[in-house]
Amino acid sequence: MTQSVVVQGEWPFFPPNVCSLSFLGTVGQCGNQIGCCFWDLALREHAAVNKKGIYDEAISSFFRNVDTRVVGDGGSISKGKICSLKARAVLIDMEEGVVNEILQGRLRDVFDSKQLITDISGSGNNWAVGHKVFGSLYQEKILEKLRKSAEHCDCLQCFFVIHSMGGGTGSGLGTFLLKVLEDEFPEVYRFVTSIYPSGEDDVITSPYNSILAMKELNEHADCVLPIDNQSLFDIISKIDLMVNSGKLGAAIKPKSLVTSSTGVFKKRQEKPFDAMNNVVANLLLNLTSSARFEGSLNMDLNEIIMNLVPFPQLHYLVSSLTPLYTLADVNIPPRRLDQMFADAFSKDHQLIRADPKHNLYLACALMVRGNVQISDLRRNIERLKPSLQFVSWNQEGWKTSLCSVPPVGHSHSLLALANNTCVKPTFIDLRERFIRLYKKKAHLHHYLQIEGMEESCFTEAVSSLSALIQEYNHLDATKSMPVEDLPRLNIAM
Amino acid sequence: MSIVTVQLGQCGNQIGFEVFDALFNDSHCPGGLCSKRENEAYQASCKERFFSEEENGVPVARAVLVDMEPKVINQTLSKAARSGRWKYGQHSCFCQKQGSGNNWAYGYSVHGPRHKESIMNLIQKEVEKCDSLSGFFIIMSMAGGTGSGLGAFVTQNLQDQYSSALKMNQIIWPYGTGEVIVQNYNSILTLSHLYRSSDALLVHENDAVHKICARLMNIKQISFCDINQVLAHQLGSVFQPTYSREGSFHYRRNPLGDLMENLVPHPEFKMLGVRNIPQMSENSLAYSTFTWAGLLKHLRQMLISNAKMEEGIDWQVRPPLSGLPPLGKMSVNKETHFNTSIANLVILRGKDVHSADVGAFKDPALYTSWLEPVHAFNVWKTQRAFRKYEKSAALVSNSQSLVKPLDMIVGKAWNMFASRAYLHQYTKFGIEEEEFLDSFTLLEQVIASYCNL
């Protein structure tokens, strides 16, 4: 599906129709709130880096440049000064509250109405309503909007889908979107950021929704970054503690880009969701930084999948981000730099609760931003290696990248992505909660009454999850085995 | 005769820039410890090989730049242009926007066929600018997707289209501890394909160059730029002009042809390594003096003991007694093994070069028995100093020194292959398990051949 255009001729290259793009699909309340924080941060990051206001490659990966004076579709500009930036996105929600708020806020010019798909009735925290009912209702519309957006370029590299697992819209319609993307754009990678429900989730049916969504993620996502609210909350609390305790003295700037937004939402919410959403938004920015900006060792999104997904089903990555607060001191001495690496492997910085150090690594990626060189990277890998256990066939399973442009307000940052068997407990836990609910048949009728839903949907979903857990079990079993070299081919001389 | 350089992928393009920069700066180095006439002849020879000229007089590198994403090429072009002294051709680049995803299969089976015509056309245009073509110098890494996969594809096509021109591939071996997780797969696929289609593989290992930066150059925070500059220095010391023969003051015309003739007597043995002495930071250089005897003694021991730099050389390693076969066949696991050579080329540059005595390199004990030392060893000279080094020596060898690194890569790839990990990423683009097995077989053969010298 991705055509290619021969690019020859004068540099600097900015061929109009060939672009390496990312597209964001945000589904449901949670997905859209995070998405909103993401777009806000992305704009601020590009504004900080791109002082001349030229529409360059880095911006083009996430934004179109549009001449708003032109009516209709002809307004796209490919070069030159920034006129009006439009996010490459589709916003989907079956309630209007969140999307409406976005359209009334600071970001209203970043989206046009053609990018939205909304309804008013909501999914009632029911995966089946989101997936089956709204799925079939909006399938054509979704397709139409995606095709339209893809028209603006020949080379879409990646789709990001942001949603939560526990509700109805994000979970059901979000995973429906995955299927549509796979059918329509089979060669474009699907990266999913999924917010998993924590144990104390107040949505009773979240185990059902999550299990049903997991099956879809197993089958239709290329890569999933599972995140839980509890971890985000812990991160925010830690930052607040650090900032307020004055431990870091005058060196700390309280307003870190990691946590503070510019007040996109008028309502102040009870829990610090804004700050939490910003952490996720930062994750996505850092994930794509090496693809957008220059560096001595670039990493595209397709490289992430190539290196971190050794077997198609094992595509769940634990992410951790550092630093989480801004330091005023720009020239960080090596000791502090090394601390950044150590932090990335501390549980305090993970976006999901898990214990990678005591489990088995299948692969690990380190994406570094800022003034960090290859020797710093290598020194720290050597330091970290002894305390980490890698699977026998991937003893040196490190994928690294160096991007010269640091995030705003930091001199450098590190994003670590680990494919590790430590996600197993999360899935086992999910399965437990599901079984407890399913055994009692609680609330099941709400699902079964939806056309296309049968009990087999549930049993198949649990099987799918159990099979995944088994894969991790097999790998864990190899943990204590000695690593031996296999006998090589014998060549007759 | 001219050399057309093809720079592939991020690594290839980043290094390519440093190489042309080193070549240019050296050839325009004031002084060079020789007469003005000599300097001019040197410059002219370097230019013929590596640069063509444009109307406004700024030399243009004889190079084609290829990458599947634009960031690095853009940077490379602008760095060259900014220097104001030399540049790349305006129309010498081929670029896409998608990258190869570190996937050899994608580089080879998708990008290759898709862009074959455009890339080969660009190369053809560059070839047409040469009065006479010595051959191609292809710079690529093994670990990624573009340099490795597309590099293998392009080399194959060069073989088909320019069957009488020589091809030397400059291959960068990645750090042992990952830059890329699938680097070992990409490496074995690259090496096996190049072994069939290239004439010589000149290898540089990131680990070795990194150590040179750390210990010899004393660089604290080593960047890829530092590494590439050391590499470029080594390549420059090989490729800059030298006299065509003993007693002549004319520079040789066919560097690639001469390199091949001296170093690759048999197609089963194509792996070449470079050693350079002295190598140090410019500050230290000002305070150091060398004798040819000292330099050559160290260089020879570096060869024999398989040291990659002049620090930490194991002086215990000795060649076997003349006339007797080496003690036991080489096993990859033996620590201090004597490094047997097939052929060696010593290149000497600088003051009093004609007084340098290279006799110790002619010792038959250094070589395998099927070539007479007179054929196995050659020396090239010029009294024109290289960069700021009053005396410098380079050694290009076809020897056992790459066996151990090769064996390690094959071993790791084999372990991973046995578990079938990541294979779906390759089969998706048409590289089946068969292809992997063929590669393993070929490389085990190469290892065995070198071990049995």
Nearest to B177 among A363, A398, A485 (CB): A398
B156-173 b/e (C-beta count within 10 Å ≥ 16 → b): bbbbeebeebbbbbbbbb
Contact B7, B150 (CB under 8 A): no
Verify that A225 and A184 share a domain, yes or no: yes
Nearest to B181 among A311, A398, A489 (CB): A398
Mean pLDDT of A180-209: 91
Distance from CA of B381 to the nearest CA of A (A): 36
Length of chain A: 493
pLDDT in tens, A73-113: 556 776 778 888 888 899 999 988 888 888 888 888 899 88
pLDDT in tens, A446-465: 999 999 999 999 999 999 99
Q: Is the pLDDT of residue A273 over 80?
A: no
- Which residues of chain A are within 8 Å of residue B222 when distances are taken between CB atoms? 373-375
Lowest mean pLDDT among A116-120, A125-129, A353-357: A116-120
Q: Is B77 on the interface with A (CB under 8 A)?
A: yes
pLDDT in tens, B107-127: 999 999 999 999 999 999 999
Length of chain B: 453
Q: Is B161 on the interface with A (CB under 8 A)?
A: no
Asked if A393 and B419 come within 8 Å (Cβ–Cβ), the reply is yes
Q: Is residue A456 part of a domain?
A: yes
Q: Which residues contact A339 (CB under 8 A, 6 or more apart)?
A: none
Q: Which residues contact B48 (CB under 8 A, 6 or more apart)?
A: B1, B2, B131
pLDDT in tens, B368-388: 988 887 889 999 999 999 988
Asked if B179 and A297 come within 8 Å (Cβ–Cβ), the reply is yes
Average model confidence (pLDDT) across chain B: 91
Asked if B210 and A378 come within 8 Å (Cβ–Cβ), the reply is yes
What are the backbone angles phi and psi of residue A151, rounded to the nearest 5°? Answer: -60, -30
Asked if B95 and A392 come within 8 Å (Cβ–Cβ), the reply is no
Domain positions in chain B: 2-273, 282-319+338-400, 404-452
Number of H helices, E strands in chain A: 15, 16
Nearest to residue A336, comparing CAs of A413, A388, A409? Answer: A413
Asked if A394 and B210 come within 8 Å (Cβ–Cβ), the reply is no
Q: Is the pLDDT of residue A262 over 50?
A: no
Interface list for A 467-486 with B (CB within 8 A): 485-486
Q: Which residues contact B436 (CB under 8 A, 6 or more apart)?
A: B185, B188, B189, B417, B423, B426
Q: Which residues contact A464 (CB under 8 A, 6 or more apart)?
A: A214, A215, A218, A219
Q: Where are the beta strands (DSSP E) in A339-464?
A: 360-370, 389-390, 398-403, 412-420
What is the model's pLDDT at position A155?
A: 76
Verify that A198 and A339 share a domain, yes or no: yes
Verify that A450 and A352 share a domain, yes or no: no
Q: CA dihedral defined by A83, A89, A90, A92, rounded to 10 degrees?
A: -110
What is the model's pLDDT at position A8?
A: 41
Strands A360-370 and A412-420: antiparallel
Contact A195, A165 (CB under 8 A): yes
Nearest to B95 among A7, A305, A396 (CB): A7
- Which of A296, A308, A313 best probes binding to B when mutated, by most B CB atoms within 10 angstroms? A296
Lowest mean pLDDT among A369-373, B130-134, B371-375: B371-375
Alpha-carbon distance of B124 to A8, in angstroms, equals 14
Verify that A435 and A447 share a domain, yes or no: yes
Roughly what angle, to the nearest 10 degrees, separates helices A206-220 and A455-477? 70
Q: Is residue A2 part of a domain?
A: no
Roughly what angle, to the nearest 10 degrees, separates helices B9-27 and B71-83? 10
Bridge partners of B255, per DSSP, are none
Verify that A449 and A413 share a domain, yes or no: no
Residue A177: both structure tokens together: 């979107």
Asked if B97 and A155 come within 8 Å (Cβ–Cβ), the reply is yes
Establish whether domains B2-273 and B282-319+338-400 are of one fold: no
Q: Is the pLDDT of residue A261 over 90?
A: no
Q: Is the pLDDT of residue B222 over 60?
A: yes
Average model confidence (pLDDT) across chain A: 85
Nearest to A393 among B98, B114, B418 (CB): B418
Band of the pLDDT at A328, cuts 50, 70, 90?
very low
Q: Is the pLDDT of residue A69 over 60?
A: yes
Residue bearing tokens 């190899």: A478
State the distance between the two ends of chain B, measured CA to CA, in whole angstroms. Answer: 34
Q: Is A377 on the interface with B (CB under 8 A)?
A: no
Nearest to A296 among B210, B223, B440 (CB): B223
Alpha-carbon distance of B341 to B254, in angstroms, equals 24
What is the model's pLDDT at position B374?
A: 82
Distance from CA of A273 to the nearest CA of B (A): 35
Q: Is residue A71 part of a domain?
A: no
Q: Is residue A4 part of a domain?
A: no
Strands B2-8 and B63-67: parallel
Q: Where are the beta strands (DSSP E) in A301-411?
A: 318-322, 326-327, 360-370, 389-390, 398-403
- Which residues of chain B are within 8 Å of residue A19 when distances are taken between CB atoms? 97
Nearest to residue A203, comparing CAs of A225, A226, A229, A227? Answer: A229
Distance from CA of A409 to the nearest CA of B (A): 23
Alpha-carbon distance of A380 to B73, in angstroms, equals 30
Q: What is the DSSP string of A14-71?
A: --SS---EEEEEEEHHHHHHHHHHHHHHHHHHHHHH-TT-B--HHHHTTEEEE-TTS-
CATH number for position A467: 1.10.287
Q: What is the DSSP string of A275-320?
A: HHHHHHHHHHHHHHHHHHS--SB---HHHHHHHH-SSTT--B-EEE
Which of residues A320 and B177 earns the better pLDDT score? Answer: A320
Mean pLDDT of B421-433: 96
CATH number of this structure's domain B2-273, picked from the four choices 3.30.70.3270, 3.40.50.1440, 2.60.120.200, 3.40.50.970: 3.40.50.1440
A10 to chain B: nearest residue by CA? B90
What is the model's pLDDT at position B54?
A: 76
Band of the pLDDT at A335, cuts 50, 70, 90?
low
Bridge partners of A160, per DSSP, are A24, A191
Mean pLDDT of A390-409: 92
Q: What fold, for B282-319+338-400? A: 60s Ribosomal Protein L30; Chain: A; (3.30.1330)
What is the model's pLDDT at position B335?
A: 53
Asked if B177 and A20 come within 8 Å (Cβ–Cβ), the reply is no
Q: Is A79 on the interface with B (CB under 8 A)?
A: no
Three-state SS for A342? helix
pTM to 2 decimal places: 0.91
Which of A425, A456, A488 delimits the end of a domain? Answer: A425
Residue B362: both structure tokens together: 């002619």
Lowest mean pLDDT among A401-405, B24-28, B322-326: B322-326
Verify that A244 and A351 share a domain, yes or no: yes
Angle made by CA atoms A149, A102, A280, in degrees to the nearest 5 = 80
Q: Is the pLDDT of residue A192 over 90?
A: yes
- Which residues of chain B are within 8 Å of residue A2 when distances are taken between CB atoms? 98
What is the model's pLDDT at position A75?
A: 65
Q: Is residue A98 part of a domain?
A: yes
Verify that A150 and A245 share a domain, yes or no: yes
Mean pLDDT of A156-171: 93
Mean pLDDT of A103-127: 89
Q: Is the pLDDT of residue A18 over 70?
A: no
Can the peptide bond before residue B267 be classed as cis, meaning omega within 30 degrees of 0?
no
Asked if A399 and B179 come within 8 Å (Cβ–Cβ), the reply is yes
Q: What is the DSSP letter of B393?
A: E
Alpha-carbon distance of B447 to B451, in angstroms, equals 6
Structural domain of A150: 26-65+78-258+272-425
Verify that A447 and A420 share a domain, yes or no: no
Mean pLDDT of B37-66: 90
Which of A391, A406, A425 delimits the end of a domain? Answer: A425
What is the model's pLDDT at position A330?
A: 38
Asked if B181 and A8 come within 8 Å (Cβ–Cβ), the reply is no
B225 to chain A: nearest residue by CA? A296
Q: Is B125 on the interface with A (CB under 8 A)?
A: no
Mean pLDDT of B142-146: 94
Q: Is A78 on the interface with B (CB under 8 A)?
A: no
Q: Is B445 on the interface with A (CB under 8 A)?
A: yes
What is the model's pLDDT at position A315?
A: 97
Q: Which residues contact B437 (CB under 8 A, 6 or more apart)?
A: none
CB pairs under 8 A between A and B: 177
What is the model's pLDDT at position B167?
A: 96
Nearest to residue B335, comparing CAs of B320, B314, B321? Answer: B314
Q: Is residue A230 part of a domain?
A: yes
What are the backbone angles phi and psi of residue B449, rounded to the nearest 5°? Answer: -60, -50
Which of A390, A425, A460 delimits the end of a domain? Answer: A425
Mean pLDDT of A388-402: 93
Nearest to residue A257, comparing CAs of A74, A23, A15, A40? Answer: A40
Asked if B96 and A18 come within 8 Å (Cβ–Cβ), the reply is yes
Q: Is the pLDDT of residue A15 over 50?
A: no
Asked if B177 and A155 come within 8 Å (Cβ–Cβ), the reply is no
Q: Which residues contact B345 (CB under 8 A, 6 or more apart)?
A: B259, B262, B263, B377, B378, B379, B380, B395, B396, B397
Distance from CA of A9 to the nearest CA of B (A): 5
Q: Is A249 on the interface with B (CB under 8 A)?
A: no
Alpha-carbon distance of B341 to B330, in angstroms, equals 12
What is the model's pLDDT at position A201?
A: 76
Q: Is B448 on the interface with A (CB under 8 A)?
A: yes
Asked if B98 and A4 come within 8 Å (Cβ–Cβ), the reply is yes
Band of the pLDDT at A375, cuts 50, 70, 90?
very high
Q: Which residues contact A463 (CB under 8 A, 6 or more apart)?
A: none
Alpha-carbon distance of B426 to A481, in angstroms, equals 28
Q: Is the pLDDT of residue A256 over 60?
A: no
Which of residues A8 and B95 earns the better pLDDT score? Answer: B95
Lowest mean pLDDT among A3-17, B179-193, B207-221, B427-441: A3-17
Asked if B441 and A491 come within 8 Å (Cβ–Cβ), the reply is yes
Q: Which residues contact B22 (CB under 8 A, 6 or more apart)?
A: B229, B232, B233, B235, B236, B387
Asked if B99 and A303 come within 8 Å (Cβ–Cβ), the reply is yes
What is the model's pLDDT at position A16?
A: 37
Q: Is residue A378 part of a domain?
A: yes
User: Number of structural domains, chain A?
Assistant: 2
Q: Is the pLDDT of residue B57 over 90?
A: no
Mean pLDDT of B91-115: 93
Verify that A434 and A404 share a domain, yes or no: no
Asked if A12 and B77 come within 8 Å (Cβ–Cβ), the reply is yes
Verify that A392 and A433 share a domain, yes or no: no
Three-state SS for A364? strand
Nearest to A300 among B69, B445, B452 (CB): B69
